[in-house]
Structure 1
Amino acid sequence: MNANDNTPSGQTPPTTPPTLPATGLMRLSRVLELIPISRSSFYAGQAKGIYPPSVAIGPRARAYRVEDIRALIEKGVA
């Protein structure tokens, strides 16, 4: 064991669950850390209206509003 923590040597410490900022935008990779589904399942759910639409942040870049993702998680869909 290391003197600085309670993790036995050779093991990685447990990770803290991802948290959401108060406002802003998130890329899909970050959204999928909070909603444990595949990218293709997210896109299929988005087409069905289950998951929120993305917003353009550049010519080839999309992101999701934190408020929409928070509402989705609180609603229990995620």
Structure 2
Amino acid sequence: MHVEVFTTPTCEDCKNFKKFLNDHQIPYTEFSIADHPENAVLLRERTGKNLVPTIFIEGKVYFGFVFNRQEIEKTLLG
């Protein structure tokens, strides 16, 4: 399963999502928009938005972890 997440260091929802992934040993690619401003440009190009966390799982996009947790868990954990 290919997981990508756009984050900032002050985003609690981002931290919760990364903890969830780490707790379940799910590999992911993180794009920090704070450390790498070019990632903010990439995020806008891909979604038209500047929201974090923006989560991509196998091409599907989720804006936020808390609001999408049930669907994300079902997708990643079965």
Larger RCO (CA within 8 A; separation ≥ 6): 2
Q: TM-score, normalised by structure 2?
A: 0.31
Structure number with higher strand proportion? 2
More helix by share: 2
From the CA coordinates, give the structure whose radius of gyration is larger: 1
